[in-house]
Amino acid sequence: MESLEEFYQKKFDIIPSDIRAGIGQFNIFRIQDRLKQERKAPRHVRRNFYKVMLYVGDNVFYYGDQVIQVSGRTLLFFSPSIPYSYENIKQDTTGYFCVFKDEFYKENFRLELNELPLFATGAVPVFQLNEDEYKAADAIFSNMFEEMDGGYLYKYDLIRSYLSQLIFQTLKMTTHNLTLHQPDSGTRITAQFLDLLEKQFLIEFSTEEITLRSPGSFAGKMAVHVNYLNRIIKRTTGKTTSEHINERITTEAKIMLRHSTFNIAEIAYSLGFDEPLSFNKFFKKHMGITPSSYRKV
C-alpha cells in the first residue's frame, strides 16, 4: 500500500514539511501543473488515502480488475480499499485532483467515507459530465485550489464543505453506474469491524475510555476467530486489523490534542493507555513527534 508520503516523494520529489501537522493532510493540484514534472504513470496498488479527480482528456484507468476508458470531462473517485492506476497522461490533459486521508472528515463531520456508494467495493465511481455539470464541478475545485493558497483561519473547514458539496452533488446527479452488489460475508465482517471501531470514539468526558484496542478484543465482540478476522480485513481493505486500530487511535489522539481541553494524561486514559508514557511512545512511533509537541504545532 502506497502512503501519502510516498505519493509526494514519487510525484514531486519532496515531502511537505507540515504533512504531519494537518489532520487528514488534504491537498489539491492542477493536472496541467503535474504534467510539467514528466512523471511516469503510477503503479497498480492501493493507497492509504482518497483521491478525487476532475479529468478533462482521454485515457485508460485501471480500477481493481476493471479497465475504464474515459473521454472528455470526467469525475473519478478513488478509494483506499481498491488498487488503481492509469496510463501516461497526455500533455493536453487539464483538470484537478485532490488527495486526503479518511481522518480529514473525522475531525469535524465524523463522516464514514467508506460507506458512501462513491467509494464502495463493487462501484464504478466514474462520471461523465455534461457542460453544466462540468462547470459546477470545476467551480468547486477552483474554490478549493484558491483556498489552499490562502491564509483564512478556517480554510480547511471551508474546503471540507466544498468537497462535501462535490461528493453529494455527484451522488444526486446520477446513480445508474454505481453497480453495487450484495455484500459477501467478508464485506459484512469488515463493515461490522469498522463500525465497532468508529463507535468507540464518541468521547465527550475524560472519564470515558475505549475498550476495544486489539484484534482479539474485536474478534471476541464479533464472535469470530481472530485469525479469520485478520485474514478478512487484510483481504478486503489491504491493511491489517492492527493497522486500522492504530491509525484510528492516532487520528483521535490528533483530534483531541488539537481541539479538546483534556490534558495529555486524560487523553491517554480515554484512548485506553494505562499511563501517559505508553501513550507518548505510541504517538511518537506513529507521528514522529510527542503529543505535547504536536499540540503546540
137-165 pLDDT per residue, tens: 999 999 999 998 888 888 888 999 999 99
The string of pLDDT tens digits covering residues 10-56 is 666 666 655 555 666 889 999 888 776 656 667 788 888 899 999 99
Backbone angles phi, psi at 67, to 5 degrees: -110, 120
Residues 167 and 195 in one domain: no
Residues 166 and 66 in one domain: yes
The packing angle between helices 276-287 and 241-259, to 10°, is: 110
Residue finishing a domain among 150, 173, 196? 173
Contact between 229 and 189 under an 8 Å Cβ cutoff? The reply is yes
What total of structural domains would you count in the chain?
Answer: 2
d(CA 99, CA 25): 8
If asked whether residues 96 and 191 sit together in one domain, one would say: no
Residue 59 CB contacts under 8 Å (≥ 6 apart), including other chains: 69, 70, 86, 87, 89, 90, 93
User: What pLDDT score was predicted for residue 128?
Assistant: 87
Q: Is the dihedral of CA 133, 135, 136, 138 positive or negative?
A: positive
| Residue where a domain stops, chosen among 113, 138, 173 | 173
Q: Verify that 253 and 215 share a domain, yes or no.
A: yes
Within 10 A of 241 (CB to CB), how many other CB atoms are there?
23
Domain presence at residue 104: yes
One domain, residues 70 and 217: no
Tell me which residue range forms the domain holding 231.
185-296
Same domain as 195, residue 168: no
Do residues 144 and 218 both lie within one domain? no
Q: Are residues 11 and 88 in the same domain?
A: yes
pTM of the model: 0.64
Q: For helices 241-259 and 226-237, what crossing angle results, to 10°?
A: 70
Q: Are residues 249 and 128 located together in one domain of the fold?
A: no
